[in-house]
Amino acid sequence: MALAFNAPQRLRNVTSPTVTAVVVVHGSTASTVHSCVQSLLDSEGVDIRVVLVDNASPDRGAACAEWRTHSRVQLITSPRNDGFASGVNIGLTARRDGDGIVLLNDDATVAPNALALCAVALAADPTIVAVAPRVMLANQPDLIDSIGVVIRPNGEAFNAFIGQRWNNQVSNGADVLGPCFSAAMFRCDAFDSASVGPLDERYRLYYEDIDWVLRAQRAGQRIVAATNAVVFHQHAASTRLLGEPARYELVQRNLLLCAAKNFTLQSALRVWGSRLIVHAKGCITGPYRVQRIRSFGRALVALPAALLARRQLPRRRTVAESTLFAYAAGLSPNFDTDTYRAS
C-alpha cells in the first residue's frame, strides 16, 4: 500500500505520505486560486506537491502567474479547454510515482489536517480506492456541500447531503457511493488503466465523477468517507459564468450518456424514455426549451461512442445496481442553482 499512515498526533515520529494535488483552473480569480493552492501547501502531515493546470483560462493564465516559480508547484498550461476531465488527466501525467492523488477544485480550500486525515482513511484497507472528505459550503459553512455523491435510478446525480446541517449523517470511515471530485483523495493507482482508469473526457463538464465512481463500484473498489477531514467549497464559483441554461444542457446531455454507458440495459432504456417524456413536456411548458432539444440531440450524436465504451467495461458487476441507487434514498439536492445557496 503506497500510503501507510499513523494518527495525526504521531506525525513527528513517522514519514509523511507523499501526495500530488491536481488543481484545474479556468475562469477563477487570482485570489481564489491563491487561497486554494496556499491551503494545500499549508497542509500538515503530508509531503505535498501541487500540479496546477491552467485550462486555457480567459485571463491567459494571470490567475496562476504567482505560482510559476514556486518549488512545490508545477504549472501546466493547456492550449485549449477540452473540459474539466481533460484538465485532470493532463495534471495526472505530472504526478510523482507512488503518490496519493488529491483532486481539488480551484474554488475550494482544505483545512490544515484534512489531507492527513484523508490519508489515514485511505490507508485503512487496501481495497479502498478513494476517500470523500466532508465538504462544507464556503458561504454557508455550517451547511454541507457534499459528503460524496449519489445517483438515482432516473439518472439524476447530486452531492450527498447538500444543504443539510452537519449532524453526523455519515460515520467516519463509512462506505459511500463515491467522492465528489471538487475535493477527494485517491490511491496512487486509481486512475491507471489497470485499476479504474482515467476520467472520461467525453463528458467535458459534469458527470465525469459519477462515471468514474460507477466504474470503480463495478470493479468492486471501496470508497469511504472521512468526515473528520473538512474542506470548504465555493459551490460552482468556477462554472457560474456558463449560465444556468448552458449548465442545464450539459447536465441533461451527460445524464443520458452516463446511463447509456454504465447502467444495465433495462435501466438505461428506462432513463432515456423517461427523459424524452420530461423534455417533450418541457418544450411545451418551459424553461430551457432550446437547451432540452439540444441536450437530447447531442446525446444521440455521442451515443455510439458511449455504447462502444460500455462494451469495454467488465461484463460482471461486482455491486448490484440497486445497492448503488440506495445511497440516494431519502436525499434531495437542497441547493438553488439560481442563487447558489442552500434552499
Instruction: Estimate to the nearest angstrom the gap between the alpha carbon of 205 and the chain centroid.
Output: 10
What's the pTM?
0.92
Place of cell 444521440: 300
Nearest alpha-carbon partner for 341 in 222, 236, 185:
236
CA distance 79 to 54: 9
The percentage of residues in the chain with a pLDDT greater than 70, rounded to a whole number, is 93
pLDDT digits (tens, 9 = 90+) for 71-112: 999 999 999 999 999 999 999 999 999 999 999 999 999 999
The reported pLDDT for the residue numbered 237 is 67
3.90.1150.10, 3.30.390.50, 3.50.50.60, 3.90.550.10: which CATH number matches 17-240? 3.90.550.10
pLDDT digits (tens, 9 = 90+) for 295-321: 999 999 999 999 999 999 998 999 999
Q: Where in the chain is the domain with CATH 3.90.550.10?
A: 17-240
The mean pLDDT of 135-147, rounded to a whole number, is 96
CA distance 210 to 328: 13
